[in-house]
């Protein structure tokens, strides 16, 4: 199939940036979205043009590197799918596809579709860890974890930190990411000693990075490729309120 792509091109953080239109021909429905961009880039390189820069790594939907806003939806309209796992069979011949980077003040554009997500790393550094003595792995049964808690913690832990939640949020809030990280640790026994200081530190870092506030629109969880539940934001709010009231 033949497609028209409108892609955001921006040569570095100081460039103003613009939408550029490209034609891509003979796209196979079996290609992934990134493979389709690879085809475009190979042609651009042969023609002596600058290829479109985009982040990617595993191309298996588990690393969290890829991500772009496709026709106004983070990672495209396919639910529970990263951009690398989105296949061209979901598009039709003749489609016009708009491709943009995540838009957030806290995610400055590095080049074209690549944004700097270090803000997420700093939120993790603020409290997304547990302090344990290093050494050999402890006996697995020494700290029992109720099944329901383990399941909920694992659900939250599947967050790959791609940033789609921020891109989709009308407020540009990073609440779902931060909440997933807080919930994952605060539901497990190992996370208890630092539970309140963690919630406070991570929420304060999130605000300091310039993300917007949460108004519970639910756009984040709807586009999340890992389906991080909205309940995690309630867990973050509960932990934060408890910490703030002391």
Partner 1 sequence: MAVTGAALVLFLIGHMLGNLKIFLGADSFNHYADWLRTVGSPALPNRTLLTITEIVLVVCVVLHMWAAVSLARRAAKARPVKYAAKRKSQANGYATHTMRYGGVIIVLFVIWHLLDMTFGTVNPKGGDATPYDRMIAGFQPDRWWVALFYLVAMAMVGLHLRHGLWSAFQSLGLTRRPRVRSTLQTTAVAVSAVLVLGFVSAPVCILIGVVK
> Which residues are at the interface with partner 1 (CB under 8 A)?
6, 8, 17, 19, 69, 71-73, 77, 98, 100, 103-106, 168, 170-173, 210-219, 221-223, 229-231, 233-241
What are the residue ranges of helices labelled H in the chain? 33-46, 118-127, 147-157, 164-168, 175-186, 195-208, 219-223, 231-244
Beta strand pairing status for 96-100 and 3-9? parallel
Q: How far is the CB of 48 from partner 1 (least distance, A)?
A: 27
Q: How far is the CB of 99 from partner 1 (least distance, A)?
A: 9
Would you say 135 or 184 has its CB closer to partner 1? 184
**Does residue 138 contact residue 78 with C-beta atoms inside 8 Å?**
no
How many Cβ atoms are within 10 Å of 218's Cβ, its own excluded?
A: 13
Q: How far is the CB of 87 from partner 1 (least distance, A)?
A: 19
> Rounded to an integer, what distance in angstroms lies between the CA atom of residue 53 and that of residue 113?
6
Q: How far is the CB of 143 from partner 1 (least distance, A)?
A: 22
Q: How far is the CB of 222 from partner 1 (least distance, A)?
A: 4
Would you say 24 or 43 has its CB closer to partner 1? 24
Would you say 88 or 109 has its CB closer to partner 1? 109
Would you say 35 or 231 has its CB closer to partner 1? 231
> Rounded to an integer, what distance in angstroms lies between the CA atom of residue 114 and that of residue 51?
12
CA torsion 174-175-177-182 (nearest 10°) is 140
**Does residue 29 contact residue 121 with C-beta atoms inside 8 Å?**
no
Long-range contacts of 135-144 (CB under 8 A, 24+ apart): 143/189, 143/190
Would you say 27 or 156 has its CB closer to partner 1? 156
Q: How far is the CB of 202 from partner 1 (least distance, A)?
A: 15
CA torsion 134-135-140-144 (nearest 10°) is -40
Would you say 66 or 97 has its CB closer to partner 1? 97
Q: How far is the CB of 201 from partner 1 (least distance, A)?
A: 17
Would you say 19 or 143 has its CB closer to partner 1? 19
- Helices then strands, counting H and E runs in the chain, come out as 8, 7
């Amino acid at each position: 199939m033949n497609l028209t792509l409108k892609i955001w091109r921006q040569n570095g953080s100081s460039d103003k940036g613009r939408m550029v239109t490209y034609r891509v021909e003979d796209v196979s429905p079996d290609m992934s979205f990134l493979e389709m961009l690879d085809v475009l880039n190979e042609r651009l390189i042969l023609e002596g043009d600058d290829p479109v820069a985009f982040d990617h790594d595993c191309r298996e939907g588990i690393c969290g590197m890829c991500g772009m806003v496709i026709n106004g939806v983070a990672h495209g309209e396919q639910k529970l799918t990263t951009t690398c796992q989105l296949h061209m069979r979901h598009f039709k011949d003749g489609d016009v596809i708009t491709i943009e980077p995540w838009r957030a003040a806290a995610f400055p554009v590095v080049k074209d579709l690549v944004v700097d997500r270090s803000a997420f790393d700093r939120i993790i550094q603020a409290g997304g860890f547990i302090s344990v003595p290093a050494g050999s792995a402890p006996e697995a049964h020494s700290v029992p974890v109720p099944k329901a808690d383990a399941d909920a913690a694992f659900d939250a832990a599947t967050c790959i930190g791609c940033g789609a939640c921020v891109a989709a949020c009308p407020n540009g809030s990073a609440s779902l990411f931060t909440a997933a990280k807080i919930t994952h640790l605060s539901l497990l026994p190992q996370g208890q000693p630092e539970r309140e200081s963690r919630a406070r530190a991570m929420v304060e870092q999130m605000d300091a990075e310039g993300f917007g506030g949460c108004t519970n629109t639910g756009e984040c969880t709807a586009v999340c490729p890992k389906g991080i539940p909205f309940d995690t934001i309630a867990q973050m709010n509960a932990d934060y309120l408890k910490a703030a009231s002391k």
